[in-house]
Structure 1
Amino acid sequence: MKKGELFIVSGPSGAGKSTICRIVRKQLGINLATSATTRAPREGELHGRDYYFLSVEEFKNKIENNEFLEYATVHTNYYGTLKSEVESRLASGENVILEIDVQGGLQVKAAYPNAHLIFFKTPTMEDLERRLRGRKTDSEETIQLRLKNSIKELEYEKDYDITIINYTVEKSCDELVKIINSKN
């Protein structure tokens, strides 16, 4: 059986990664590998579907037990990808999309050299700020932290295989579908 392909999607918070990945996964029938986090769920998010919402203690126990493919602290919370989420799916021939931070993306690429790194960004920083504010889910302090972190995250674009500039959701979805279909 042919192993599945691993696609890593990263970029600044507010670049549209989650929206685009959700649409593309549905179009192509690809399951997102559910990440773990210590942040609180946003409205409408469910444990096991959107994230595994863990306490800091639970997360640290999983680190000690070497259960993560990658993990990092992002915006004061832990985020990570469970090895079990990825390895079982790839082995069964499924394609896997990891929507993770840039540092985690590079960690996974080191472990899976054939993984495809895809970087998402907005056309301008003004667009990014407008999108973050438009969510109406974060405090002003969190928005400022995300904007500050996005400048650092943009420096990693050069380490990724492909960049998608998210002008519109439809165009970005089409680009991501073409990339995934070209690797199968």
Structure 2
Amino acid sequence: MLVRLYEKRAASQIFIFTGPDGSGRKSVAEAVGQTFGMEKIVSFVTRPPRPGEVNGQDYCFISHETYRTMERQGEFLESVEIDGQHYGIRSLDVESKLSQHDCAYVILNREGASILKKIYGEKVVRLFLYVDRRTAEERQFNLGLANEVIAKHLSHYDEEMAYRSVCEHAFENYDLGQTTFEITNTLEQYLQRGLVDKD
């Protein structure tokens, strides 16, 4: 039983969807995740929910006090602070997904992606999504985000874009269907699910 568990975990992979805010990483990640039946690793965050976000599905929204308590107890595998808000992934959530499934996905910024890559090495495949700055701004505006929030996100745009060069794969995302198709083809090479028609 221990050997089987180890073999399954050895073959498990974490697909990280990353890129600037407004790149559409969430929409693409959910579409690809649904296609492959992948489990999502949900991050914990101290910021309030944005329009349309669901607690426990998009993020686990918690208070700063609760976050600090969890951090002191060593629950987080990775923890970063961005614009005064804390984001983290629990070790327990990652390990449980990898022990029960051959793959899982998570949506992270470059800091979080780098931490997981350092910890899990070749098990981690980073999928970088991007659009031009103006499109990223328009998408966030259309989501109903406050101007000051959008401005903060855009202040990180160039830093996030620079991360593209070190990711395993990068995709320009102006069309959800096309990008989902391209990433599905890419992930099929890793997962061998027979979902892509090669004829």
Percent sequence identity over aligned pairs:
25
Partner Cα separation in structure 2 for residue 121 and residue 73 of structure 1: 22
Secondary structure in 1 matching 2:141: helix
Instruction: Determine whether 1:28 maps to 2:28.
Output: no
Of 145, 148, 160, which residue of structure 2 is paired with 1:153?
Answer: 160
User: So what's the TM-score if we normalise by structure 1?
Assistant: 0.93
Partner of 1:62: 70
Partner of 2:196: none
Q: Which deviates the most, 31-40 or 174-183? A: 174-183
Q: Deviations over 1:115-169 (max 9, x none)?
A: 11111111x2121111121111x21111111111112211211221111110210
Q: What is the root-mean-square deviation of aligned Cα atoms in Å?
A: 1.4
Deviation at 1:29, TM superposition (A): 0.9
Q: Deviations over 1:22-59 (max 9, x none)?
A: 11111211121111000112344332222111110111
Partner of 2:133: 125
> Would the aligned equivalents of 2:51 and 2:143 in 1 still touch at CA under 8 Å?
no
Partner of 2:60: 52
Report the number of matched residues.
182
> Would the aligned equivalents of 1:75 and 1:146 in 2 still touch at CA under 8 Å?
no
Partner Cα separation in structure 1 for residue 44 and residue 95 of structure 2: 16
> Would the aligned equivalents of 2:137 and 2:154 in 1 still touch at CA under 8 Å?
yes
Of 171, 187, 191, which residue of structure 2 is paired with 1:164?
Answer: 171
In our comparison, the structure showing a higher alpha carbon Rg is 2
User: So what's the TM-score if we normalise by structure 2?
Assistant: 0.86
Instruction: Determine whether 1:177 maps to 2:145.
Output: no
Secondary structure in 2 matching 1:128: helix
Q: Which has the higher helix share?
A: 2
Partner Cα separation in structure 2 for residue 43 and residue 130 of structure 1: 15
Q: Write the letter of the residue equivalent to 2:42.
A: T
> Would the aligned equivalents of 1:16 and 1:120 in 2 still touch at CA under 8 Å?
yes
Deviation at 1:182, TM superposition (A): 1.0
Secondary structure in 1 matching 2:113: helix
Moved over 4 A (4+): none
